[in-house]
Amino acid sequence: MIQETFAIGDSIIHRLDPRVRVVFATLFSFLVALSDRFPTLYAAFGISVLMIIPARLDIREAGKRLKTLFWFMLLIWMVLPLTFEGDTIYRLGVFAVKRQGLVLCAQITLKAVSILLIFMALLSTMNINTLGHTLNRLSVPGKLVHLFLITYRYIFVIEEEYRRLRTAIKIRGFKSGTNLHSYKTHAYLLGMLFVRASIRAERVHEAMLCRGFHGRFYSLDGYKPSRKNRNFSIIMTAAIACLTFIEYYPI
């Protein structure tokens, strides 16, 4: 089952204006992605870890989500130091561990973890429909936002349909394997999902027409500016300024 685990909560972060969160998460992420110096990366890592505290994330759940990253990290730590061209700092038989490879692995790891943590703290803590409307107010086109919200809305309906079809093939003795019968069955289930989605979409469109839809999209969200938003904005601006300074004006 698809769930928005972090969206439910009542931390300081949850109560911040979503626009502020989207803007700073984006700025912070790009700054980190474009930085190379270790002092900057360490500082960014520190900030993102600290950010988890006011967001009151479930640590275990956060760890589970970082796990998708873990396997990728394991792979690069095993491959890059050996395949990179550069100065050998350690030799083990035919394998030569290169310094440049290790440095790159460390950079990637710090960047990836920092960006994902800030994402979890600032963005995963809002409802997806809130995010949709926020993007709209940040001048993302209404059509795209509307598409986004419809997609999100119907994922759950279609996932239910998919699960019922899975049950249907299971009780008729289906076991997935590496053979044409299995692939064909999966393809048919998929085809069925598409057909039903397409026919449902016609009805959804009709329902929209019945309620006066004529191509315009409206949004109902409204967050009032508050002192908390201002304080958070000041803190984040300062943090980003510091990171930029460290990166581009090394002492």
Partner 1 sequence: MHISEGVLSGPVLLSGGALAAAGTAIGLKKIDYDRIAQVGVLSAAFFVGSLIHVNIGPSSVHLILNGMVGLLLGWGAAPAILIALVLQSLLFQYGGITVLGVNTVIMALPAVICYYVCGPLIRKKTSIAAVGAFAGGFLSVFLSAVLMAAALFFTEKNFWGVAAAVIMAHLPVMAIEGVISVFCISFLKKVHPAILPNYSG
Partner 2 sequence: MNKPAPDRIPLIRLSGVSYRYPGADTNVIDNLDFQLYPGDRTGVMAPNGSGKTTLFYLLMGLLKPSDGLIEIFGKPAETEKDFEQIRRRIGLLFQDADDQLFSPTVLEDVAFGPLNLGKNQEEARDIAMKTLNELGLDGYENKITFKLSGGEKRLVSLATVLAMEPDVLLLDEPSTGLDEKTKARLVNVLLNLDLSYILISHETSFLYDLTDSVYTMRQGKMKRAEKIHVHPHVHPHTSHIRHHH
The one among 23, 66, 169, 242 contacting partner 1 by CB under 8 A: 66
Least CB distance from residue 227 to partner 1, whole Å?
A: 27
The one among 53, 75, 106, 168 contacting partner 2 by CB under 8 A: 168
CA 244 to chain CA centroid, nearest Å: 24
Residues numbered 212-251 forming contacts with partner 1, rule: CB under 8 A? 213-215
The one among 12, 187, 234, 241 contacting partner 1 by CB under 8 A: 187
Rounded CA-CA distance 145/138 in Å is 11
The one among 27, 66, 189, 197 contacting partner 2 by CB under 8 A: 189
Residues numbered 112-141 forming contacts with partner 2, rule: CB under 8 A? 127-129, 132
The sign one gets for the Cα dihedral 206, 210, 216, 221 is negative
Helices (H) and strands (E) counted in the chain, each on its own, are: 9, 2
Least CB distance from residue 93 to partner 1, whole Å?
A: 19
* Residue 139 touches partner 1, criterion: CB under 8 A: no
Residues numbered 208-227 forming contacts with partner 2, rule: CB under 8 A? 208-214, 216, 218, 220, 222
Nearest to partner 1 of 177, 224 (CB atom) = 177
Rounded CA-CA distance 106/112 in Å is 10
Q: For residue 89, give the 3-state DSSP assignment.
A: strand
Q: For residue 87, give the 3-state DSSP assignment.
A: coil
Nearest to partner 1 of 16, 135 (CB atom) = 135
Residues 6+ apart with CB under 8 A from 77: 105, 109
Least CB distance from residue 124 to partner 2, whole Å?
A: 16
CA distances from 196 to 1, 89, 170, 191, 205 (A): 20, 59, 20, 9, 14
- Strand runs labelled E in 42-159: 88-92, 95-98
CA distances from 108 to 69, 114, 115, 167 (A): 11, 10, 11, 42
* Residue 8 touches partner 1, criterion: CB under 8 A: no
Nearest to partner 2 of 170, 230 (CB atom) = 170
Least CB distance from residue 234 to partner 1, whole Å?
A: 22
Q: For residue 185, give the 3-state DSSP assignment.
A: helix
Q: Which residues bind partner 2 (CB under 8 A)?
A: 127-129, 132, 149-150, 152-154, 156-157, 161, 164-165, 167-175, 181, 185, 188-189, 191-192, 195-196, 200, 203-204, 206-214, 216, 218, 220, 222
